[in-house]
Amino acid sequence: MTRVQRRNADESRKLLLDAAERQFAMHGYDGVSMRMIASDAAISLGLLTYHFPTKEQLFEMVIARRADELNHVRRQAFDALRTSSIHDIMDAFSRPIVDALTGPDRGWHFYARLLAVMGRDPRWAALVTSHFLVSVNEGIERLIAAEPRLDLDSASEAFSYAISVFTGTFAVSGSDALNYLPTSSQKDLRAAYPTMLDFIVGGIEKIAHRREVTPPPVRGKAKAAKVPSARKAQSKAEEGRTVSGSAKRTSKAVTEAG
């Protein structure tokens, strides 16, 4: 393949990915056909299937393309941190998507909506999560290091809530990510971002404080009177269910955060 042919092929792939991104964001996976995507890109169906033989493969590439870019910027932001405050950690994780959404590439608006919608679909949640798990896990680890009152369970819970706020705000609509906020905030996403960030940071600090004032019960050796054997068995069973439930919540929180 010559240099010109390679450039033309790259341009065709970009046009097809952009068109697929728009169509999937507006109509969902099931509401889009390969023919619709080819028509949107003004490229023949044959050329589309040459680059992306199946709709599922095309969809996976749509998710991966911007995820790789976003994760790269997040890693740079984490590495550049001079302090380890909750505010700075959440800003390093969240600001890259704000910068993308306020930049010249309008495709990011479709992508944000696509993630919000497909992330709730059981068929695609694992795929979406897999592309962001590394940066999410780094954010959670940094939160735990910055705030000793947080453990894996509570930090994952906090991160999950934080991402839900940002995702819900940025992806309300494919055309206007802030169309449900006050008119003054609609004019500038950057103007609304500091308030959202403060809200998130306050929530995480509240979760940490809650753990401090209501520490988990200490499971030590029992003193005083003997406990009947039946009650001992019941107590141990309830304790086992508590630990199991905590582990399940941690796993769920990490998955939702992706």
pLDDT tens column, 17-48 = 999 999 999 999 999 999 999 999 999 999 99
Q: Please indicate whether the domains covering 1-53 and 63-215+251-258 agree at the CATH topology level.
A: no
DSSP at 29: T
Domain made up of 63-215+251-258: CATH architecture: Orthogonal Bundle (1.10)
DSSP at 168: H
Residue 139 CB contacts under 8 Å (≥ 6 apart), including other chains: 78, 89, 90, 92, 93, 159
pLDDT tens column, 176-193 = 444 444 443 445 778 889
pLDDT at 258 over 70: no
Rounded CA separation 191/177 (Å) = 13
pLDDT band at residue 255 using 50, 70 and 90 as cut-offs: very low
pLDDT band at residue 244 using 50, 70 and 90 as cut-offs: very low
The proportion of the chain whose per-residue pLDDT surpasses 70, expressed as a percent, equals 72
Q: What average pLDDT does the chain have?
A: 80
Contact 131, 112 (CB under 8 A): no
pLDDT band at residue 5 using 50, 70 and 90 as cut-offs: low
Question: According to the model, what pLDDT value does residue 164 have?
Answer: 85
Backbone angles phi, psi at 143, to 5 degrees: -60, -45
In angstroms, the Cα distances linking 44 to 16, 38, 248 are 10, 6, 48
Over residues 78-90, mean pLDDT: 93
Q: Helices 3-27 and 107-118, interaxial angle, to 10°?
A: 50
Alpha carbon 148 to its chain centroid, in Å, reads: 24
pLDDT at 246 over 90: no
For the chain, domain boundaries: 1-53, 63-215+251-258
Alpha carbon 247 to its chain centroid, in Å, reads: 20
Question: According to the model, what pLDDT value does residue 17 have?
Answer: 98
pLDDT band at residue 117 using 50, 70 and 90 as cut-offs: confident
Q: CATH says 1-53 is which class? A: mainly alpha
pLDDT tens column, 223-243 = 444 444 444 444 544 444 443
Q: 18-28 burial string, b = 16+ CB within 10 Å, else e? A: bbbbbbbbbee
Q: Kindly report which listed range (27-36, 89-98, 119-128, 184-193) carries the lowest average pLDDT score.
A: 184-193
Question: According to the model, what pLDDT value does residue 119 have?
Answer: 77
Length of the chain: 258
